[in-house]
Each structure stands twice: as structure tokens, then as C-alpha cells.
Amino acid sequence: MIRYLLSLLGPTLMLSTMATAANAQDGVEAEAYWSMAIHGGAGTIDRDKITPEKDAEIRAALNKALAIGSDILKDGGSAMDAVTATIISMENDPNFNAGKGAVFTWDKTNELDSSIMDGSDLSAGAVAGINGTKNPILLARAVKENSPHVMLSGEGANQFSREQGLEQVTPDYYATPQRLQQIEAVLAKEISAADVDYKFGTVGVVAQDRGGDMAAGTSTGGMTGKRWGRIGDSPIIGAGTYADNRSCAISATGSGEYFIRLGVAHEICARIRIRFSEAIKEAQIEVPKDANGNDTYVVHGSEFQLSDEEIQQIADDVIAELGELGGDGGIIYATPWGQAGYSFNTAGMYRGRATSEGEASVAIYGDE
């Protein structure tokens, strides 16, 4: 409640006693808040294209994923663990284009991409064009934690996965009848991956834990019919995934080429970080002076937050620029001030959000 009142005040000076991201670093406080958002892909998701059964199935899958992450965050678990566990549940669900249910390449193989980032120290791990690993997000996390690198690809990454002892599966594990039907349709019409509207289904999670740490992760099979070793934005840190305790955590979904060109995930975080530091400077100017003309008070970042409206505007501005370039899709965000939300320019996006303030909702279409 306190947080909502503060957010209404916007980026003005607030003598706050709440557990903010900055002061919560010292230890988890009982009332410290948490938040998360998830997506299961964006695209031409219209009511007339989805049966009521499918609609219910997707909502159940989103609710299940949201509950997994929420339980971890509620119990004081880390944002990294919440992101990892939630993505695993979505990778294991054939409804999504990640892990089981990943789309097929032009050669009818699966090439999976995944990434994860820890906003507390900007450490990150990513894998591109891999197969054989049951849960690509675990491989991305292993790259982050057990290698000196940020990104591994193809056979080398597969080998690293085996050396790490991650669960392996045979190629047929990823296949579902629906994905086979989709690739057959693409091959029959000889259409390019970029023209295909089977793009949605990528999964992503962003979270802020009670300790104030943020994390983001994304996992995908990429685009149906992709070829020539095409890699999208999902495993690219700064394009499809980014997390920084000072600004936000972002996971993207949509036409990856455009997200890469705009560096969407980092761009949103950078704009939030810059706006936040501007707001502090603006408040310092307002501080009364003493008899010698010196400030009577030094404004500290822990006394501030950007408002819900400012965060949404920044995200919407970047997605509008994506649209102007010709890209479609969307992002989910979480901020150090407890906000969790979305921005997308497609008809719909599989999505959900939950916060310690009691928010827990999932949605599919743009108008809900």
C-alpha cells in the first residue's frame, strides 16, 4: 500500500521508511516487497484464432508458472531462482515455443536459444542454437555460473551441457504434432521464417526479490522455418534479456531482428536509469539552502522511485520505436520499485504478473 501511495507521488522527494531496493541490500525485511512478470510470446493472438479450450489451457499454464515464481519470491527466495524455476515450468509445457514444443527449423531440427541475467552484479549467461539439453535456461545459467563466458553456441554449448551434467534428451523430445504441422505448412509454401506468424510462444520471466535484486530470463525455439543458423534476440543480452538492479529487468518476445537492432531490453533499462538520476538532480535543486547558500540536505536515491506512469511511458516509447522500424512483439518489465508490467504492439501477448501487493493475473488478448 505504501508503495502505491509513493508511486502516485511520482519522482518527487519522498522521506521513505519502506524497504527500497537500495536499503534492502542490507538484509531481507519482513515487509520487503517482491514482483514478477511472465510472458509466453506475442503475436497475432485474436479471439477468433483460439478455441475456448486452448484459451483455458494457456491461462492454466500461465497461472501455474506464475505460482511457481511467486511462491519462491514470497518465501524470500532469489529473483534468479524464481526466474529459473518459472522458465523451467514453461519449457516443460508443450504449449510454449521453448524446450518441449520448440518450433522447427527449415531442416526440421530444433535450435534453442536462451539467456539469463542477474541484475545485482550484471553477470549473465546465454546459449544459442543448442539442442540435447532438456532445459536450455539451466544451460544459460550454467554458462553464467560455471564458465568464464557469457555466450556459448551450437555443438560447443551442447558439449558444455553434457560436461555440466545437465539432463539430456533425444531430438524427438522437443517435437509436438502442432509444431510438425507448422513446419510442414511453411515448407510446402516455401515461405520465409520472417513471414510466418507462428512466431509466438517464446517464454520470459522478470523478477525482483525481497532483497531488492532483479533478474531476467528468456527461452525460445526461435522462428518456425529459420535457417542458416539464424539467431534471434532471445539469447542476446541487451536485446531480448537485460537486468540491472538500478533500473529494471526486461524479457522480450517478437520479431527478434528488430529487437536486436534497437537493443530493446538494454534501451529500456538505460532510459529508466537516466530518468531516475535526472529526477534526483531535479529534487536536489529544490532543496532549501542555508545562510551560506549551501544545500541543507543531500538527496539520496533510496528516497525516490519513478511512477508507474513514467515506467510505462518509457517502455511504450521503445516499443513504438520498434514498430516504426517494422518490428512487432513486446516486453515484460519489473522495476526496483515493485512495478511489474508489459508493453506490446501485437494483437495479444500471453502474459501474467504477480506482486507482494496482491496482484496475480494472467491475460492473452490486447484488450484485457
User: Which residues of the shown chain bind ligand ASP in the complex (CB under 6 A)?
Assistant: 41, 199-200, 202, 220, 222-223, 232-234, 253-254, 256
CB of 83 to ligand ASP, least distance (A): 17
- Residue 19 vs 139, nearer CB to ligand ASP: 139
- Residue 114 vs 335, nearer CB to ligand ASP: 114
Active site residue 296: no
- Residue 211 vs 263, nearer CB to ligand ASP: 263
Distance CA 90, CA 333 (A): 18
CB of 125 to ligand ASP, least distance (A): 18
- Residue 244 vs 257, nearer CB to ligand ASP: 257
Catalytic entry in 86, 105, 133, 202? 202
Query: How far is CA 11 from its chain centroid?
Result: 25
CB of 81 to ligand ASP, least distance (A): 24
CB of 43 to ligand ASP, least distance (A): 7
Residues designated catalytic: 202
